[in-house]
Structure 1
Amino acid sequence: MRLLAAVDLGEGLESVVESARFLQEGLSIPAELLHVVPTPYFEALGRRFPHLRPGLEEALSQVEKEVQKTLADTGLRARVLRGFPAQVVAGEALKSRLVLLGQRGTGTLEALARGGLARYLLHRGEVPVLLLPRALKAVRRIAVGLDDSPASLSAFRVAEAWGRALGAEVFGLHLVSGQGGCCFPTYLDPETLGLADVLARAKAHLESLLKATGVVEVSKGDEELDLLRLAKAREADLLVLGSKAKSTWRHRLGRMVEVLSSQSSMPLLVVPEATVW
């Protein structure tokens, strides 16, 4: 199995390549770069205008050669394939332990442009996806967004495995919002407990589920971005979230993943619920 780094030739290429090198060494899993030349449009042109086919084929072949040379210069194993990028990457992801994707900027148009492939893979829920707004060069502290769901517990186990391999500290972060908020623990009664009791009981409950003590921090927070702010304040290098993937419909990834997958400014690892690392 491999780490699959799906790349284009945009400004995020170097960040993904650098991250792939780091994780290949740290996790002891070979990395492979994959670039997909989006050919459906040109194939349709060839069918509509047969006289263009030879020229289109020659141009595509030349593109493949140039891209292959560029990727080979990185020193990592690389392949160039043709097809519809999302489908090709998803198919190759099934033969991989992890998919790396570059992300740059959070503007509306840029988020929409890059969102197709990332969201397609996240909604399929078949393999962990690492979203990289910047290069991941070192990992000293790994933060895991926690609730009491199987998805977040699976994410914590994957983070523990990464922590052992990379020599990193792993800790969980759990947000408690006001009564009726998105993050109030469903297993606690807001009518009879003050905030201090809620925080203490939530921490004890989660550490009991994880079978570990001293690894969970519980804080008050009302917005999904509060988790990102807390992870940054704790100097985390990587944030890990569990994904419900196909287990729900309206928010099938979980609200936290829905928000942070497009707005996180730090590397974000999204782990499907059924993942075993």
Structure 2
Amino acid sequence: MTESPSRIVVGYDGSSGADAALTWAAQEAANGSDAPAELRVVLVGTAMDPVLSGYRHVMDRAVEDWRAGLSERLAALGRADATVEVRHGTVVPELLAAAEKASLLVVGSAGHGLATGTWTGSVSQHLARHAACPVVVVRPRHSTVVDRIVVGVDDSPASAKALRFACERARRTGEEVSAVHGYFSALAHVLTFDGAESEVADRRRAAAEQLVKDLCRECAAEFPDVEIEPEAIPVRAGQVLVDASRAASLVVVGSRGRDAFSEMLLGSVSQHVLGHAQCPVAIVR
């Protein structure tokens, strides 16, 4: 088995979402390794600002309350050795700085949302766009009994990295990997006059199936002990992955695929999955 990530950073704000992220990160740190990864929990309070001095006092008290409760929580997770760090500033820049040398950054899908400097659902979007390491956004799982990692694939470099990330994790956890390529074209619904599928649609389907098979074959050579299942489905990629997330422990996507014309740093598929998946989501750059 490969070693688990050397350092996992968790953003924490005392919310139920942050607690779910902490639990996931503690489990991930121990996966497949005799020596658990370093776990660092980061709490972010407000920056110093005379105008907001009253608010800062309230926020600092909340941060101390979160910190006080962490010791017991970390002990219950078997990670009393975790580092707890309090930083002051705006959440996204501070977490990005804390995760500069991390192997993984883990956050909840939403938190308290207490004005600037604290958590909102958009925090995960910003982190996924800019973090130097993979980001895992821990969303509630629809099913807790499945052992399957779903990874979205296309012909982009980010997709290849996402598939490799999924296989590396599967090798540690013993899960299977479903490499899913969602494709959609209006041509797939065009029929000829005799009711047969058009030749163009047939070629599109064959190309999609070949693409995902080739990607899986390459990864299978590197990860022979991981079961990788190729799937090509004629539905928009974002919807395919959200549907697949109902029976997955994790969905992995690249930060930007071939159709990411609407976002410079985070593709539209990744955004859709982050907002709607029914299990944790990993964004790989």
TM category, shorter: 0.7 to 0.9
Deviations 1:128-185 (CA, angstroms, capped at 9, x unpaired): 111112279787210101111111111000111001111111120011212369xxxx
Tell me how far apart the structure 1 counterparts of residues 263 and 60 of structure 2 sit (CA, whole Å). Answer: 42
> Which of 171, 176, 180 does residue 173 from structure 1 map onto?
180
Tell me how far apart the structure 1 counterparts of residues 27 and 95 of structure 2 sit (CA, whole Å). Answer: 21
Quote how far apart the aligned CAs of 1:212 are. 5.1
Unpaired segments of 5 or more residues in structure 1? Answer: 47-51, 106-112, 182-189, 273-277
Could you state the TM-score of these two structures normalised by the residue count of structure 2? 0.74
Q: Which residue of 1 aligns with 2:256?
A: 244
Q: Which residue of 2 aligns with 1:150?
A: 157
**Letter matched to residue 258 of structure 1:** Q
Q: In the alignment, is the contact (CA less than 8 A) between 2:144 and 2:249 conserved in 1?
A: no
> Which of 91, 94, 110 does residue 97 from structure 2 map onto?
91
Tell me how far apart the structure 1 counterparts of residues 243 and 64 of structure 2 sit (CA, whole Å). Answer: 44
Matched, 1:257 2:262: no
Q: Which residue of 2 aligns with 1:206?
A: 212
Q: 1:20 to 1:243 in 2, by over 3 A?
A: same
> Which of 194, 197, 200 does residue 193 from structure 1 map onto?
200
Tell me how far apart the structure 1 counterparts of residues 12 and 110 of structure 2 sit (CA, whole Å). Answer: 13
Q: Which residue of 2 aligns with 1:186?
A: none
Tell me how far apart the structure 2 counterparts of residues 215 and 223 of structure 1 sit (CA, whole Å). Answer: 17
**Letter matched to residue 79 of structure 1:** E
Q: 1:15 to 1:193 in 2, by over 3 A?
A: same
Aligned CA RMSD, in angstroms, stands at 3.2
Matched, 1:118 2:131: no
Quote how far apart the aligned CAs of 1:86 are. 1.4
Number of residue equivalences: 244
> Which of 2, 23, 27 does residue 28 from structure 2 map onto?
23
Q: In the alignment, is the contact (CA less than 8 A) between 1:251 and 1:258 conserved in 2?
A: no
Quote how far apart the aligned CAs of 1:64 are. 4.7
Q: 1:61 to 1:198 in 2, by over 3 A?
A: closer
SS at 2:28 equivalent: helix
Q: In the alignment, is the contact (CA less than 8 A) between 1:7 and 1:13 conserved in 2?
A: yes
Q: 1:56 to 1:152 in 2, by over 3 A?
A: closer
Matched, 1:80 2:93: no
Tell me how far apart the structure 2 counterparts of residues 222 and 67 of structure 1 sit (CA, whole Å). Answer: 41
Q: Which residue of 1 aligns with 2:70?
A: 71
Q: Which residue of 2 aligns with 1:160?
A: 167
Deviations 1:38-70 (CA, angstroms, capped at 9, x unpaired): 234x44445xxxxx8xx977x776555433221
Matched, 1:271 2:284: yes
Tell me how far apart the structure 1 counterparts of residues 212 and 99 of structure 2 sit (CA, whole Å). Answer: 32
Quote how far apart the aligned CAs of 1:91 are. 0.3
Quote how far apart the aligned CAs of 1:209 are. 3.6
Q: 1:138 to 1:38 in 2, by over 3 A?
A: farther
Could you state the TM-score of these two structures normalised by the residue count of structure 1? 0.76
Unpaired segments of 5 or more residues in structure 2? Answer: 1-5, 112-118, 189-196, 221-227
Quote how far apart the aligned CAs of 1:102 are. 0.7
SS at 1:96 equivalent: coil
Deviations 1:173-215 (CA, angstroms, capped at 9, x unpaired): 011212369xxxxxxxx974334x5333322223224425763
Tell me how far apart the structure 2 counterparts of residues 73 and 157 of structure 1 sit (CA, whole Å). Answer: 36
